[in-house]
Amino acid sequence: MHSRAYPFLRLLVPFVTGIVLGNYFDTPIDGLNSILLLGTILMIPLAIRTYPYRFRWLFGAYLSIWLLGLGYFMLVGQDERRMVGHFAQAIPDATFFIGTVYDAPLTGARIKAPVRVEWIGSASDCMQPCTGNVLLFIKPDSLAKTLRYGDQVLVRAGVRKTDPPANPHAFDYQRYLHFQNVHYQAFVKKDSFQVLSSGHGTLLWHMAFAARDNMLRVLRDYFPQPDEYAVASALLLGYKEDLSDEIRVAYAETGSMHALAVSGSHVGMLYAGLLVLVRVFRFRGKKGRLLELGLILLVIWAFTFITGATASVLRASVMFSTYLLGKAIYREASAWNVLAFSAFGLLAYNPYLLYDAGFQLSYAAVAGMVFFYPRFYRVSPILPKWADAAWSVLLVGFAAQLGTLPLSLFYFHQFPVYFWLSGWIVVLGGAIFLWGGAVLLVLDMVWISGAKYLALGLYYMLWGMNQCIFGIQALPGSVIAGVWVNMLEVILLYACIVCLGIWMVYRKGIWVNVLLVLGIWIGLIRLSRSVEQENQAQLVLYSISKGRLVDFIDGKNGFAWMDTLAPKQIQFAAQSHRWASGLLQVPAVLFQKDTVIEHANFAYRPPFSQFFDKRMFWLQPDSKLPGGVFPIDILVVSGKPKTDLKQWVAHYPCRQIVLDTRIAPWHLEPLKKQCLEMGIPYHAIGTAGAFHVKL
């Protein structure tokens, strides 16, 4: 494996570095575009020259620097906030804006529709043109449900910046939206928007979304049971909106989520099936070959658009297309080169894709498969055909896991132990369903009773598949959860995997030693983290709307205090932080007035609690003012106090005031003012996020 044999790999590295630098520094460089342009012109004489041996590296270096600049420029230029005439300045006075929906709206508790703003103003007849993107959150009433890609809407709502995560280590939605090129959001109340006109945007996308909606409707008719319908729509069309949480978790914990996310494997199966079909029709001659190529490309790209062109499908489609085109010109392209070319192409189209978890995971998986699978297969024994197929599936799954493990630990903090078992089920089921589903959709148009029988069979297959997945999930030790790795560990883990690969190729024992050294390095990082966690003391008052959740973290033990909350709320707010702090199980207890709690380092005797040496007073609306003075450290205000806050502080002098989410927003301002007047630092959980103190 020599880098010169893979030209696109050499081009990719500086380009990616440029993108990373662009994201890190996030500042535009004036005149960079003119520099780059000049640079291309200069490249021509440089390319023509013959170089003396000493300077043979000059062109490569020049090209690399140019690509670096290009990557940087493209990323920084992509940011919608830098567009000329962005509405950012108009926000404080704006109440109305007009924009066009530029992507299919997502369903859920709120309908989320990204909109390219065209006009903004303080009244519906007094608006000025502008640019920028806003994500609308609309309550799903009958009007909102009809919102489609390409609709131009007039909205009456306040536009604000997106919010950073409210809880420590919680999913950073703001960052996620940044990589979707959205930095502003608007919450649209009932009757606050209307559709002015429809049909804007590209015809191609309209057709694709319409086709997708039609197919979803057909699937809904044939698979009325919600779970099976959800899996069917995810497998066939990559539509993940209707997956219940239960199914999502089951597939994630068994390592089969990739099947539901329409990864490149579906495109691969589509291609394999098309090959079979093509062989049946037997096109001949040069014209025949071209027709064949055109047909396959058409189907692959139609599939891509109908499923919404997610990153992994795009990558797979580009890869297959280039591979096919290469074959057509009678030149075999190596997998690495094709991979690098598709990555380069996709990143040139949208540099933000580099930070998309799906993009990263699918390239990691394919790299792992391309590198390790042939080597594993070569050393495995010769098996009869059926066993060979099963064995290959196992090896491919294993190779893919090697590629994605560090990243998936980083993102999902869990390891699916039975991934190899679920791999078989999902590959088999996925393949059958992909082809069965396609046949079903065709039959639906020509022969309905036949379609109904097929649908019944497919339904039982899906049901069976789901039951197997639930069964695997229920096996003991099916998930190793709570694994926390930081970015450095991810890099080191990849270094280990690369070492493993090098050892497999060059067979020099030294690489095993390097592997061990890297392993020791990782071990040391984990050791220091473990020691830190054993000695930690944290107090976290999470930000949960209309509820209270408090974590008292004492070393690797934790203790939670909460109102009755839905498990999903707790998980969303606290799970990641607990895992990051090394806590796997946290016993919990209900917030009740007349209870006593005693632990090693925590005691609650209403209305006070003490955690280590921090004394807290929990001020409720029905608390009574005492006569004397009782000094404390933290005063937690839970609901608007009946008397003036200053009076309370007079009797309970403190060093910190926390205003929790039970205080209505309109009561916050006067309370904040009082804190400022008293000179006591305050923290309003509702606006500033969780209150987190390391003792």
Partner 1 sequence: MLRAFIQHLHFTKTERFGALGLAFIFCLVYMAPEIYHRYFLKARKTDFSAFQRFVAAHAADLGIEADSLQPAKQPPAVFPFDPNTASAEDFERLGLSEKTAQSILNYREKGGQFRKPEDFQKIYTLSIKDFERLEPYIRISAKQEKWKDQEYAYGPRPAQYAGGGYEKKYAPRGPVDINRSSVEDWVKLPMIGEKRARQIINFRESLGGFLTVEQVREVFNLPDSVYQMILPHLVLETKTVHKLNLNTATIEDLNHHPYISGKQAMLIVRYREQHGAFASVEDLKNIIAFKDKAWLEQIKPYVGIE
Would you count residue 284 as binding partner 1 (CB under 8 A)? no
Q: What are the two backbone dihedrals, phi and then psi, of residue 74, each rounded to the nearest 5 degrees?
A: -65, -40
Sole binder of partner 1 in the list 30, 125, 594, 622 (CB under 8 A): 594
- Sign of the torsion angle spanned by Cα atoms 85, 86, 89, 91: positive
Which amino acid is it at 533?
A: Q
Least distance to partner 1, CB of residue 420, Å: 21
Interface with partner 1 (CB under 8 A), residue total 60
Q: Give whichever of 205 and 470 is closer to partner 1, judged by the CB atom.
A: 470
The verdict on whether omega for the bond into residue 607 sits within 30 degrees of 0, i.e. cis, is yes
Least distance to partner 1, CB of residue 555, Å: 8
Which amino acid is it at 304?
A: T
Least distance to partner 1, CB of residue 513, Å: 5
Would you count residue 567 as binding partner 1 (CB under 8 A)? yes
Would you count residue 30 as binding partner 1 (CB under 8 A)? no
CA 597 – CA 618 distance, rounded (Å): 14
Cβ-based burial of 687 (10 A; exposed 0-12, middle 13-18, buried ≥19)? middle
Q: Among 4-12, 85-93, 316-324, 527-535, which window interacts with partner 1 (CB under 8 A)?
A: 527-535
Give the number of other Cβ atoms within 10 Å of residue 237's Cβ: 22
Q: Among 146-154, 201-209, 280-288, 528-536, which window interacts with partner 1 (CB under 8 A)?
A: 528-536
Query: In the numeric block, which tokens belong to residue 243?
Result: 């997956």
* Contact mark string toward partner 1, 350..389, x via CB under 8 A: ----------------------------xx----------
User: How is the beta sheet containing 549-554 ordered, strand by strand?
Assistant: 588-590, 557-562, 549-554, 537-541, 691-694
Query: In the numeric block, which tokens belong to residue 245?
Result: 């949480």
Output the DSSP codes for 450-496. HHHHHHHHHHHHHHHHHHHHHHHHHSTT-EEE-----HHHHHHHHHH
Sole binder of partner 1 in the list 193, 376, 604, 648 (CB under 8 A): 604
Would you count residue 280 as binding partner 1 (CB under 8 A)? no
Q: Among 77-85, 525-533, 640-648, 681-689, which window interacts with partner 1 (CB under 8 A)?
A: 525-533
Q: Among 10-18, 395-403, 602-610, 658-666, which window interacts with partner 1 (CB under 8 A)?
A: 602-610
Would you count residue 217 as binding partner 1 (CB under 8 A)? no
Would you count residue 246 as binding partner 1 (CB under 8 A)? yes
Output the DSSP codes for 87-108. GGGGGGG--EEEEEE-SPPBPS
Q: What are the two backbone dihedrals, phi and then psi, of residue 162, each rounded to the nearest 5 degrees?
A: -70, 155
User: Where do we find the tokens 């919010």?
Assistant: 163
CA 396 – CA 387 distance, rounded (Å): 14
CA 606 – CA 622 distance, rounded (Å): 13
Angle at 351 between CA 397 and CA 185, to 5 degrees: 100
Would you count residue 624 as binding partner 1 (CB under 8 A)? yes
* Contact mark string toward partner 1, 531..560, x via CB under 8 A: x--xx------------------xxx----
CA 288 – CA 326 distance, rounded (Å): 17
Nearest by Cα to 111 from 161, 163, 58, 148: 148
Sole binder of partner 1 in the list 564, 585, 666, 679 (CB under 8 A): 564
Q: Give whichever of 224 and 294 is closer to partner 1, judged by the CB atom.
A: 224
* Contact mark string toward partner 1, 627..656, x via CB under 8 A: xx-x--------------------------
Q: Give whichever of 331 and 378 is closer to partner 1, judged by the CB atom.
A: 378
Would you count residue 510 as binding partner 1 (CB under 8 A)? yes
Q: Give whichever of 250 and 366 is closer to partner 1, judged by the CB atom.
A: 250
Sole binder of partner 1 in the list 369, 553, 562, 583 (CB under 8 A): 562
Query: In the numeric block, which tokens belong to residue 137?
Result: 């959150």
Cβ-based burial of 524 (10 A; exposed 0-12, middle 13-18, buried ≥19)? exposed
Would you count residue 503 as binding partner 1 (CB under 8 A)? yes
Would you count residue 613 as binding partner 1 (CB under 8 A)? yes
Least distance to partner 1, CB of residue 609, Å: 9
Sole binder of partner 1 in the list 626, 665, 670, 681 (CB under 8 A): 626
* Residues near partner 1 (CB under 8 A): 224, 244-246, 378-379, 503-504, 507, 509-510, 512-513, 516-517, 519-520, 523-524, 526-527, 530-531, 534-535, 554-556, 562, 564-568, 587-590, 592, 594-598, 600-601, 603-606, 608, 610, 612-613, 615, 624, 626-628, 630
